[in-house]
Structures are given as structure tokens and as C-alpha cells.
Chains A and B, each alone.
Chain A
Amino acid sequence: MTSLLDRRTFLKGLGVVTVAAACGGAATPSPTATAVATKTATAAPVTGTISVYSALNQSTNDQFFAAFKTAYPGVSIDLLPLAAAGELQTRITAEKASPKADIFIGGSSEFHDPLGKQGLLEAYISPNAKDIAAQFKEPTGLWTGWYTGIFGFISNTDRLTKELGGKKPSTWDDLLDPAWKGKLILPSPTLTGGGYIFIATQIFRFNRDEAKAMAYMKSLHANIAQYIPTSPGALTLIDQGQFVGCPNWSHDILTEKSKGNPIDLTVPSDTGFEVGAISIIKGTKNLAAAKALVDWSITKEAGDLNVKLSNRGSTRTDVASAPGAPSLTSVKLVNYDRQWATDNKTRLLQMWQTTVGL
């Protein structure tokens, strides 16, 4: 009966930040949130209520928005938490006659970009965006990327040792070994953001030779027992040892491991990553407060807080990654062209469906 599945929540929270940007532009991060708050309140108070659609995890939401409140005491947030970026995207589209949200935060940029193309987002280039590299933001400011997530590989330690001699994959090609047959799962490429990023990663790995990438996906298909409708759901199955391994999000694998599950993380070389975004919904009734939230989420303090809460990375170079977590510089990444991957999503997914016969 009910249910939608969702796609994972891709993002997690923002960090605490200080934003001097609210004072009018030149962002000079203050040392502490309190200091900033004072400054903000006196110099250019932003007030009112904004409605936020958040695809961030629950645990991140609580602390992230509390920290924002500290920085901007005049702004109150009506939070609609739904850890399913795809549903939020559909919702925003369905509500276009009378938008109910001011901000859409969290979820890979693939969920924000189509909204921008439909004219449902308000372009805004935050002064703080100067600290964010061009590959992490939409050039006209329709969305801004503030965190990153790297695709890795989770394996069930017990079963990996017993059934595969403990050998973890060092490249994605290692997964084609017949020893993996029936022991691998993958988040569904059509139902999850991560599953699609996995396919796009293969295409970039083969220098955009789509035929080779599809041949890889077809061989891999022979080893895959199931495509799982949500990324977190796939992690649970590996925790339980129902299957042995699964390409999935590094940060979530680390979080699961920290709970004592018998699992481990590896990051095969030439992997892909996501950029988590924030965007302003067109028709917002409180543009100033919406802009303040965007400004704040891309500060160092917001980045630090999010890294701590979610094990994800930041799009800022001055934010260190979580202990034990891979970073964009510590692993070998493919040359991931996000715009191309987003624009070609439908075509590539259809090609994949035809290739594997699903």
C-alpha cells in the first residue's frame, strides 16, 4: 500500500556558521557564531519566517538549523523534513501554482538542476560562493553546492573473509570476478540518485565510451543479485549479511561501521561523487531570509558542523574531512562532468535498461 520509496537523503546538515555576508556582502567569517549573530543583528537584521524543504537526515537537521538560528536570531524556520530528495523535487513541481517552500536544501544537485530548468528556482549568487569552486555550483546561481559525498564500497567482513578470501575490490573492474556472483547488490539506478551516479561514473571511467561502459554494466549485472530501491536499504542488507558487498555512499558506510556493524569501507579507484545543493524557490515571500540561509550554509562553520554530523565532505577547501573519511583529494576520482551527467540522465538510464534487459 503506501509507500513511496525514497531515495536517500543525500544530504546532511549544515554547519554552524558565521556569516558576515548578511551585513551586505563582504563575508568575513567571524570566529564564533555568537559573535556573528551579534554583528548580524545590529548591522543588517534579517527577520521573518522561511519555510525549508530539507532532504537532510533528521540528526543533521536538528543541529544544523539550531546553529543557523544562533547566527540569525531574527529568522525562524518552518522545517519540512523529508529525507527523500526526489519526492521533494516532485512536490515542488506539483506545488508550482502556489509554492509552499522558500528553500530546498539537501539532495544531490541532480534533483535541483531540473527545477532550475523549469524556471522554479530563484537565481542567487551568494557573496560567499567565491570560496566554492566552479564545479560545485550552477553558474547563474540557481543552486549552490555545499557538501560532497564520495561513492565507495561496503562489504560484510565475515562473509567477505569466508567466501572471497577477504579480498576487497581495488577497482570497479574487480567486481566482475565471478566469485562475486549473486553476492553483490546495487542501489537501483532508476530509483536512487546514487545508483545513477554509479552508472555515470562508469561512463567517465571509460572516457565517455558509452558502449564500453554499458558492456561493463552488463557484465556486472550478471553478478548482481538485486537492485535495491533505496541506498540506506542496501546498507542494511549488507549489515545483516544478506549479501556480501554493495557500491554505496562512503559517509553512510562509515556511520554504519561506527555503530558496530560487521562491515568495512573501501573506495575503489576512479570513483564518482555527488554535490549536495541548496536552492531558493521562485516566488519566495522572504528573499532576504532565504538568501541568508544560502550564505550561511556555505561558510566554514556550516561545513565543519556538517562534516562532524554526517561524515560527508565540504565543497570548501578549508574544511577538513571527518576522521577516516575519504576526501576528494585522497581518493582517485573520475573526471565527473556533472552537467553532462544531469542532462543525459534519461537517455543513459534508458540505455542501461535496454542493455541489462530490465
Chain B
Amino acid sequence: MRSLQREPGVLLALLAVVALVAIFIVYPQVRVVLTPGSAYGDFLSAGSWVRPLGNSLQVMALSTTTAVLIGFVFAYAMVYTDMQWKPFFRLIGILPLLSPPFVVAAAYVLLFGPRGIITYGVFGQTPIIFGLLGIWGVQTIAFFPFAYQLIADVLSRSDARMEQAARNLGAGPWSVFRTVTLPLSRPGLGAAILTTAIYVLEDFGNPALVGGQFTVLPTQAYGLISGFGDLPSAAAVSTILLSLALVLYLAKIRLDGGQSFVTVSGRASSMPRPPVPAWLSWVCFAVCGALCAMILLVYGSLVVSAFTLTFPVNTAFTTSHFEYVFSGVNGVALRNTLVYGLTAAAFSSLFALLAAWLVQRGIWSGRRILDFLLIMPAAVPGLFFGIGYATAFNEQWMDWLNRGVLIIISMIFWNIPVGYQAAVAGLRQIDRTMDEAATSLGASSLRGFRDVLVPMLGGSLRVGFVTTFVRAVTTLSVVIFLFTPGTTVATIRIFQLVNDLDWGGATAFTVIDIGLAMVALGAMAVLARGRIALGASRA
């Protein structure tokens, strides 16, 4: 990229990105943090946050480790092995991202609780799943798809020729993996660890439902608001979370230093990857199979619940729950969910790509700040993101603004981190000579970005789109403070049904919500095929 002065187009794009980030990420958080009457000092010195902080760190270390490990195995299996059923595994690997609040965590308890259908019914065990172990297990499954997607994107872009070369020089499969594959996947691995760790830190739903007495920072913050109406202290907890995210971010910057991970340079490679030993394929297959069996069990129990009168007490078949779901305002909620989710996903993934390009390729001061600000929303519990928006954008002069638009904007910016991380990791793999070739032939930087880089970043774009979409259609905490009668969404309806103790209705709604989301993703995949040159054919 040339200097900004010489490229007004780039300068304008940068200013626009900075302005949007300032208005829609920074400003609402500032409004939350600067809640009048802030009793920060009192709260911080009282020290009631110390134990939740310790708990949060413990859970973060455990869940991130397992989620990234499993995500890596899953990604490796999809990209490197020639095992069977890959499309099936890919599909199931997305499911845990589609977990509307309450319902999925409740299904875990139903299956694996002290009197769970599996644990007690099948094995006669009464495990204590409430507490650290429960959170660890549930979060591992809930968050491995983030790691899987980020790592798979990077692995799939790594150049098979390097590995072939290593093999030809006599290296065994293990040493190729250790000295070539693993180092080249570091941008993705780093992004995966950072993103997963921050999401685990921010996670509220799982600790609330299976955490028992094991309080983490987000559950403490929620308790402060709902039990004590103490927004200032809760905001202080939120600030602690943000500080932790900043520390993680700085640690990541330190770790991957200024190293180069360029693997895409010039000519596209058509060379196949070196074959993976059969036994390794089988191990990968076994791990993926076990994981998917577990996921299917949980989601399968939802489907069964949706088709039975009162699962598990009365298992008579019925379609009445579905009939209910398709009545009244529920149709509006489903439509809104899809429209908001798809719109937010499209804008979020494109914005993430543009921002990543400006940050990763740009040479201007303050890049690091923008870089962090774009990862920060991951560390903001949805609750605070929603309260921030409700406070910052609920002014009389803004009443003309359609609430649906505000909800979409909140989804765009709350969910930007994964797509952004994917795009940055992708750009780090693509040699600068690629875009420089375009600019030296007379194209502007923006044109080089659009015509050369964007087509090569199809995978990253897809990661951003999928993640934003699934998070948008399953979020409750952000929307709960913003929705209006005409802009209600599926998660709000599911939440109503859960509180009405209507498990059948709640699961039927969940099944439809997830089903529609899968159909929408499938349709997008078909539409995108062929358009995105390098991305479409890969895992």
C-alpha cells in the first residue's frame, strides 16, 4: 500500500472504518463504563471480584486448551486426511455454534445430569456436572467450532509444495507436521487461541446454567445487575474482562512477533498434499466421530423433545408444538431472525475484510489500536453490548431510526472479531508481492485489494459470514434490550417459551431456528460456489 496521502480512496476508507468503530464499538462501551455514580473504587477495593477472576482464568485455560486441541484435530482431519464423511462432519461441526440460550445447556443436563437419561438411565451414574467440570465440558464443545474454522482456513491455504518438498528430502510424516505444517498454521492457531480464550472469558450462558456455585466474571456481573441493580459495579467487572482481553492480545502480539507466514506466492499450486498415514486418518476419524456422536445426541434430544408431548415424562408423538410455532407472531420473529442475521453477516464479513486489509497492509500509526478495538467486542458480554446500545442510541432525536437497523448494526459490530481474525490471518499468508504486482501495473491499492486479495480470501470471508450469522441468529442478550414488538426475533420467543415451562414449544422453535439457519447457510454456500475463486473448493 502506498502512503495514505497519495491514495485518497484508501484514506477515505480508513477514516470511514475508524469512524464506524468509534461510534458503534467504542462509544456504547464508554457509556457503560462511565455509568454515573460509578463506585469503581469501592467495588474494586472490596475485592469480591478476586475469586470470580481466578475462576474465570482457570476455566479459560482449561476450555481454551481443549477447544483449540479438538478444533485443530478437526481442522487437520478435514484439510489433510482423505477420511470419509467429511461433508457430514463439516456440517455437524457448525452445529454447536447454533445453540440458542438455555435450550442446549438444558439438554446437557437432561442427558448428563445427576438423573440424566444417559448418565443415570444408561450407566447408573450420578455425576456432579454442575461446577467447573460441567462448564469445561460444555464450553469445549461450544467453542471448538471457532478454533476449527480459523485453523482450517489457514491450513487450507498453506502450500502443499512445501510439505511435498520436505517429504522428498526424507522427512517422515511426523517431522513434516512438526517442522512445516504446525509452524505454517501459527497465524491461525494464534488467532484461534486468542479468539477462543476471549469468548470463553465472556461466556455467560454456559456458566450460568451448569456452573452451579462456580462464579465467573460474567455471571458475577449479571448477578450484580439483576440482584442488586448495581450497574456501576457490573460495569467495573466488564472493565476487568476488557483488561484481560487486552493482556491476551498483547501476549499474542509478543508471541508471533514480526515473523512471516507467507505461504501463498504467485502461482497457484495444484499439487496434492502428501498422503497422511492410514492409521492417522483413522485416529482423526475416531475423534471426529466421537465428537459428532456427542453433538448429535444433544441436538437429537431436542428433535425428540420437539415431537413428543412432554419429554421425557410423556413421549407420545405430536406435531402440536410445531403447529404452535407457526402461529401468531412467531412467523414474524423467524423472518426477522433470518433477515437480520443474513444482513449483519454480509456487512460484518465485508467490513472485517476491509478493516483487516487496512490494518495488516497499511503503514500508518495507530494500527495496533484499531487492531485491538476490532477484537475487543469478543470480550464484551452481550449483556453490556446491549445495554450500551440501549443507553447510547436511545435518544429522542434518534427515534426515527428503525429498531431493526439498530439491531443489525449491533450484530455487525458485536460479531466482527472472528471474521476479522480470519481475514488478518489470511492476509498474513499472502505475499505482499501479489498486491504490489497489481499496483505496479497501475492499479490503485483499493483495486488491488478488490481484484487480487478479496478473491483469494474467500475462505476468511466465509468464516466471518458463517460466524456472524450463527451468532446473530442465536443471540439473546444483545437483542433483549433492543427489540420492539415489530422487531422480535426467534431467541426472544424461545426464551418466552422456556420461561413458560413449555419445553416442547421451546425445542420445536429451536429445531426450526437451527434448521432455517442451516438451510440459509447451505443456500449461501451454493450461491458462493464458483464466485470465490480460491475459497469455494476448500474446507
Interface residues of chain A, those whose CB is within 8 Å of chain B, are 1-9, 51, 57-59, 62, 78-84, 86-87, 89-91, 93-95, 97-98, 100, 114, 188-191, 196, 225-227, 229-230, 232-233, 235-237, 239-243, 252, 255-256, 259-262, 345-346, 349-350, 353, 358
Contact = CB atoms under 8 A, between A and B. Distances in A.
A199 B459 CA distance: 54
B226 interface: yes
Interface stretch (B60-68, B188-196, B492-500): B492-500
B228 A9 contact: no
Contacts of A97: 391, 394-396
A262 B390 CA distance: 43
Interface string B71-98: 0000000000000000000000000000
A1 B204 contact: yes
A241 B497 contact: no
B130 A239 contact: no
B399 interface: yes
Contact of B225 (A82, A90, A230, A261): A90
A225 B115 CA distance: 14
Contacts of B142: 1
Contacts of B130: 225-226
Interface in B219-248: 222-223, 225-231
A83 B102 CA distance: 14
A80 B390 CA distance: 15
B491 interface: yes
A261 B310 contact: yes
Nearest to B382: A2
Interface residues on B, range: 35 or more
B224 to A, nearest CB: 8
Best-surrounded residue of B110, B142, B313, B382 (most CB of chain A within 10 A) = B313
Interface of B: 48, 99, 101-102, 106, 109-110, 113-116, 130, 142, 199, 202-205, 208-209, 212-213, 215, 222-223, 225-231, 310, 312-314, 328, 382-383, 387, 390-391, 394-396, 398-399, 471, 474-478, 480-481, 483-485, 491-492, 495-503
A8 B495 CA distance: 11
B387 to A, nearest CB: 6
A3 B476 contact: yes
Contact of A91 (B208, B390, B471): B390
A160 to B, nearest CB: 13
Contact of A83 (B109, B225, B496): B496
A353 B471 CA distance: 34
Contacts of B215: 358
A252 B501 contact: yes
- Taking each of A58, A230, A240, A262, which has the highest tally of chain B beta carbons within 10 Å of its own beta carbon? A240
A231 B146 CA distance: 32
A358 B131 CA distance: 13
B266 to A, nearest CB: 40
Contact of A95 (B115, B225, B394, B503): B394
Contact of A4 (B101, B313, B484, B500): B101
B116 A242 contact: yes
A1 B205 contact: yes
A242 B203 contact: no
Given A97-B396, A191-B223, A8 B109 contact: no
Given A237-B109, A237-B113, A240-B312, A4 B477 contact: yes
A3 B205 contact: yes
21 contacts: A1-B474, A2-B474, A3-B477, A4-B204, A4-B476, A5-B222, A78-B485, A94-B387, A190-B223, A190-B227, A191-B208, A191-B227, A196-B227, A233-B498, A240-B115, A242-B115, A242-B116, A256-B501, A261-B313, A262-B313, A358-B215
